[in-house]
Structure 1
């Protein structure tokens, strides 16, 4: 059997460790990560190896050569472009004429590959995915198998709502050569996202083998460090080089020509390379020291990973840090936890490097300096920079002007010189400041900017939809009313920036690999003047103007001091709607207070509607994406009830064939759909899912449980201005008041609760939930929605917090609450 090693990754999240080396060549307990993989293959009798190269390929080829040193025959194929995982292996098709195994060159594992191969052969499989169980499956592809091992479902890097098991794809595959015929040549094609779903759709023999043993993806600095600690603790069976020397309470492996001075003390596991000098009274615990390094007298090393040619001066104290090739630490310097000294970084004498500081290649810290970093949040961003298409952080603490400028430069570099983007912002001072910093970064890469200033998000989407711009960005206060700010990115068509471009943007941001424009090539700023007019011209034709003019609805609208106050009153006037405007001016001083007191504002809105005897009232959020409603009596209509009322109205008037709704929606939606003969497409409870559903030709209407609706045709995403007018149109066509839109669904009762669950237990809980509900009618889209005798219950992992969200519904309040209690108890038991 031949093996294919995937060795072309950029290692973006491992930077600065990968600043000068490809990811597979990063040292792991004394040798490159990929060398451990080669040794594992050789151990299981696999000696014909093809390495797929792309990024910094020369180092890999130079190190391994023909493979003779390891008893294997190594050949190489360089990709001419990034064609994805499967697309890359397609390039080797002519060399793969029998069953072959694919393995990543940047994982640490001791799996029994022979057992996996036998499993593949015994099942007569066309493809076998080697699986393992992990505590946090969020970053991996989730695989669900039958009792025979046949794969029934596959989800690549899901959100917590799609985590249905803790069994994940390890990136180790055994395939038959005929499978390669399914991969198009010179096309971006991925195993997890493209090939395996295609195989499942064709009912091919695709199996999953759960392998016992150790496996860890070296995906970021934290995983890299933890992999070392696991090796020190003996959790992984790998070949450690060196001669074992007996020390009390220590396991020490020493390379050739290494000298350990009298009085040096070791504890835990210590791995020392060739030609190393350890000074007198040095104290070393759980550390790896690369070849040709010097450790001075009285040095203290605690869980330190030192690469080759590192020099550590006398009396230096280093704890839980990584020192890369040729790093230098001066006498009596202190380096705290989670620090990284990159290649050729130099720290002078008597320095104090505070925790989380990363010193990039060739940088020098002068003697006596205390170095703290404004990037103390760097590890957080490294793990989770984007959430969907936005970056969120505490304003002026995490999202600083420097950060925004760097993010803008990465965005501009991704788009390319001489393109034009549109940016806009909320009304607050913090969003103005960060927007300007973002613009500076974009301009620095030679990209032009159309500054739309305080423009609502829906207007920005429509401006992008016109097709003249390469992308857009919006800076706002987080709608949850905390201290956080969001920077949202949009694609050229007005959609949220897709995952593929987010990945590119993240890579550019972390690598800081963006070209700066020349003085003459710096981008220009323009302030378009007809943006609102263009939006209105697109808006009005999608409304039945004659019906509204005849009905003359009377409405009160609270604009929340947001930008919609500058455009919507004119639209309402053109449509003949009698509207009273509240808080209809942009005022950043009141904006922040208002976001903290929306409940009070909603009660005031109801009181005004009631006293004026108007038909309804709407409270728009400052970005004009979401809204809350009061009826003609001034009564507040909850989000779930409004979802049902609008759906009922739309079905009565438009008779849709198919609607899309999130799994958090009331069962009343099914009652309405059944009454009018409509089908429901269940989707995730997020905006991206709503947008994707709205773009489908077979979907007539999209509802959301967060106060958003999408009427395909005009809308790209949620647009409170358009939806509010559309609701008035639907009411006018039906001849009803809001309070008169009722049904049997009015008797339904919902109960909800959050239950704590450590992140490490989430996958285990979801696997137990899937087993528990296996025989029940259920919806598996965003969490698991299970039909019970007297209602239904949804269990969904929270996307940010260490908890599960439980939502239940029934005609009986008591039953709904009992369902919640039952599943709270289950989740607690499943964690044990």
Structure 2
């Protein structure tokens, strides 16, 4: 744990000392995946939590007793800062059981605030002169003083209008451009008199700007605005997080950096008893760059600033890092290339990895050799990317990004986790891009809701590449294969729940013969998929979508009957019991068997999405039950059908 405050000159200002309330309950949802596993105040800026920079600012102005309001992951903050003694401060904590809002959370600490106090956010970065704000408040004898700041784009903030005496006359939270009447915004830093608590009911969610300050205006209580100069960033997005780190390194923020500077604007952590960063003589580091304790920059590596490299990170030979932020305990492999990337803690980027601008990789991810992470892609924590894989879309729920999208059973993934509509639409576009414009492709599914969802996404992707879609509904797989060939289509896609695991969805991609596409076809599709080299046709060439009705079943039945020896079946004089397993075969096979003269007894023929795929245990139980039925009625044979007609067990 580093301490920024030993290097701070403490401006202990007579008459200034007061308590501060540091609001640190923020979840930081807009900073995900960086805030998965930590509250927003603990996100590091130049290797130290943003809240640590705020405590340093308070101490620099003689404010050493603070109340920290907590809600999300409160223990993380308490464990790091403790009672404040390590930082030369006294810290009290209040924890909200449920969110109480910006004012309600401070009300929760009312018993600790019997004199005027300052409220400041623990997850924003600023170097404001708090002495001037507090002196302004006292001179005006205000109930509330709002610290304001001029910004070029006020849409994400509360806009404030002042009169000639700096009294607040109007404000509006997060206006549209049509409502913008000032570029002066509320920073969330307030100096308040304890009398303001009469406007804040206990135990309720109350907001300063929406609930309390309008009452002060209505009652003409003295509320003023102080327009501050200096630096302020609310770190409200990943882009602002990058900017805040860069601004600190470029010394645009009047706050101390946690280290010592050397030639070339290279900062190195200088904690006592901790190993210094080591830069190989052949490595090139162009500042501003911060290197944490124990960092190793090995031979031939090149680092361009502004870049932050956290404690105990290893940068291997010939790796290139440009304008990136890397947290602690990272590994940047031989020849890896990072350009404008955000890398969480304990991330391993193997040799030859390429991470493009705007990509964010969460904690504990492993990126395999030669893998590519495309611009603006986000990887949630604990993900693995196969060697040579290209990650072109964010990986949130699944555990792995594969080099190949094909498996032994086609393209598969966990339903609505890995196999999501966005993924399926890209598969459709990639497949369509490998076929001639104007080609036809059949699309089919089983009767599950998940397959229906994914099928519709595929249908959205194919026409974008100029492919006509024949939607043949929910016929069995053998029927879909036959229809692909019989209709003259160039290929087909069948969507189903996996027979081995009902949580998985499988896509069977077919060629024009109705057979699974070969390895060469798979490679062409994968190349298009990973490079995102999708053909986008003009609007006049977008493919048509045709829903084919009963003609598919009739065509299959006719072909089947024409290839059967009906006389041999009718002279057999036998009966068979068929268990359809609530699958799609029950919509075709009974009619077909009737046409060839077979006598059958039907079991489990009801259809609909309410019926799910049978587990292996259920399948075995139903098979034994079918055998018992055959014996009981004297049937000569029995058949157990899988959901989509790909498997038949005979007894």
Q: TM-score, normalised by structure 2?
A: 0.58
1:318 alignment counterpart? 338
Q: 1:401 to 1:371 in 2, by over 3 A?
A: closer
Residue 85 of structure 2 corresponds to residue 68 of structure 1: yes
Aligned equivalent of 1:122, options 125, 133, 139: 139
Give the Cα–Cα distance (whole angstroms) in 2 for the partners of residues 272 and 314 of structure 1.
18
Give the Cα–Cα distance (whole angstroms) in 1 for the partners of residues 189 and 394 of structure 2.
39
Give the Cα–Cα distance (whole angstroms) in 1 for the partners of residues 424 and 221 of structure 2.
48
Q: 1:106 to 1:350 in 2, by over 3 A?
A: same
Q: Which structure has the larger Rg?
A: 2
1:295 alignment counterpart? 315
Give the Cα–Cα distance (whole angstroms) in 1 for the partners of residues 169 and 117 of structure 2.
23
The total of aligned residue pairs comes to 392
1:262 alignment counterpart? 281
Q: 1:403 to 1:365 in 2, by over 3 A?
A: closer
Give the Cα–Cα distance (whole angstroms) in 1 for the partners of residues 424 and 347 of structure 2.
30
Q: 1:295 to 1:155 in 2, by over 3 A?
A: same
**Structure-to-structure mapping, 1:637-652, within 5 angstroms:** none
* Preserved contact between residue 333 and residue 352 of structure 2 (Cα < 8 Å): yes
1:145 alignment counterpart? 162
1:242 alignment counterpart? 259
1:27 alignment counterpart? 44
Q: CA deviation at 1:101?
A: 0.4
**Structure-to-structure mapping, 1:101-250, within 5 angstroms:** 101-247=118-264, 250=265
Q: 1:192 to 1:403 in 2, by over 3 A?
A: farther
Give the Cα–Cα distance (whole angstroms) in 2 for the partners of residues 363 and 340 of structure 1.
12
Aligned equivalent of 1:271, options 274, 290, 293: 290
Q: CA deviation at 1:403?
A: 9.7
Q: CA deviation at 1:47?
A: 0.5
Give the Cα–Cα distance (whole angstroms) in 2 for the partners of residues 265 and 254 of structure 1.
18
Give the Cα–Cα distance (whole angstroms) in 2 for the partners of residues 402 and 270 of structure 1.
38
Q: 1:19 to 1:112 in 2, by over 3 A?
A: same
**Structure-to-structure mapping, 1:722-761, within 5 angstroms:** none
User: What is the SS of the residue equivalent to 1:51?
Assistant: strand
CA deviation map 1:655-676 (0-9, x unaligned): xxxxxxxxxxxxxxxxxxxxxx
User: What is the SS of the residue equivalent to 1:16?
Assistant: coil
User: What is the SS of the residue equivalent to 2:203?
Assistant: coil
Q: CA deviation at 1:266?
A: 1.4
**Structure-to-structure mapping, 1:426-437, within 5 angstroms:** none
User: What is the SS of the residue equivalent to 2:224?
Assistant: strand
Aligned equivalent of 1:341, options 349, 361, 378: 361
User: What is the SS of the residue equivalent to 1:131?
Assistant: strand
Q: CA deviation at 1:236?
A: 1.0
Q: CA deviation at 1:238?
A: 1.6
1:454 alignment counterpart? none
Q: CA deviation at 1:239?
A: 1.4
Q: CA deviation at 1:232?
A: 2.2
Give the Cα–Cα distance (whole angstroms) in 2 for the partners of residues 310 and 348 of structure 1.
14
- Spell out structure 1 runs of 4+ moving beyond 2 A: 250-256, 400-405
1:17 alignment counterpart? 34
Q: CA deviation at 1:375?
A: 8.3
Q: CA deviation at 1:188?
A: 1.1
Q: CA deviation at 1:374?
A: 6.4
User: What is the SS of the residue equivalent to 1:181?
Assistant: helix
User: What is the SS of the residue equivalent to 2:174?
Assistant: coil
* Preserved contact between residue 266 and residue 291 of structure 2 (Cα < 8 Å): no
Q: CA deviation at 1:259?
A: 1.6
Give the Cα–Cα distance (whole angstroms) in 2 for the partners of residues 122 and 284 of structure 1.
50
User: What is the SS of the residue equivalent to 2:288?
Assistant: strand
CA deviation map 1:393-441 (0-9, x unaligned): xxxxxxx945999xxxxxxxxxxxxxxxxxxxxxxxxxxxxxxxxx979
2:472 alignment counterpart? none
* Preserved contact between residue 380 and residue 395 of structure 2 (Cα < 8 Å): no
* Preserved contact between residue 248 and residue 257 of structure 2 (Cα < 8 Å): no
Q: 1:150 to 1:225 in 2, by over 3 A?
A: same
Give the Cα–Cα distance (whole angstroms) in 2 for the partners of residues 145 and 272 of structure 1.
44
* Preserved contact between residue 245 and residue 254 of structure 1 (Cα < 8 Å): no
Residue 273 of structure 2 corresponds to residue 253 of structure 1: no
Give the Cα–Cα distance (whole angstroms) in 2 for the partners of residues 440 and 113 of structure 1.
57
Q: CA deviation at 1:358?
A: 1.1
Q: 1:440 to 1:90 in 2, by over 3 A?
A: farther
* Preserved contact between residue 22 and residue 119 of structure 2 (Cα < 8 Å): yes
Give the Cα–Cα distance (whole angstroms) in 1 for the partners of residues 141 and 172 of structure 2.
24
**Structure-to-structure mapping, 1:336-375, within 5 angstroms:** 336-373=356-393
Q: TM-score, normalised by structure 1?
A: 0.45
**Structure-to-structure mapping, 1:454-469, within 5 angstroms:** none
Unaligned runs of 5+ in 1: 377-399, 406-438, 444-518, 520-591, 594-832
* Preserved contact between residue 138 and residue 160 of structure 1 (Cα < 8 Å): yes
* Preserved contact between residue 252 and residue 266 of structure 1 (Cα < 8 Å): no
Q: CA deviation at 1:253?
A: 3.1
Q: CA deviation at 1:251?
A: 3.6
Give the Cα–Cα distance (whole angstroms) in 2 for the partners of residues 20 and 27 of structure 1.
13
* Preserved contact between residue 264 and residue 278 of structure 1 (Cα < 8 Å): yes
User: What is the SS of the residue equivalent to 1:266?
Assistant: strand
* Preserved contact between residue 151 and residue 206 of structure 1 (Cα < 8 Å): yes
CA deviation map 1:705-760 (0-9, x unaligned): xxxxxxxxxxxxxxxxxxxxxxxxxxxxxxxxxxxxxxxxxxxxxxxxxxxxxxxx
User: Which structure features the higher share of helix residues?
Assistant: 1
* Preserved contact between residue 268 and residue 293 of structure 2 (Cα < 8 Å): no
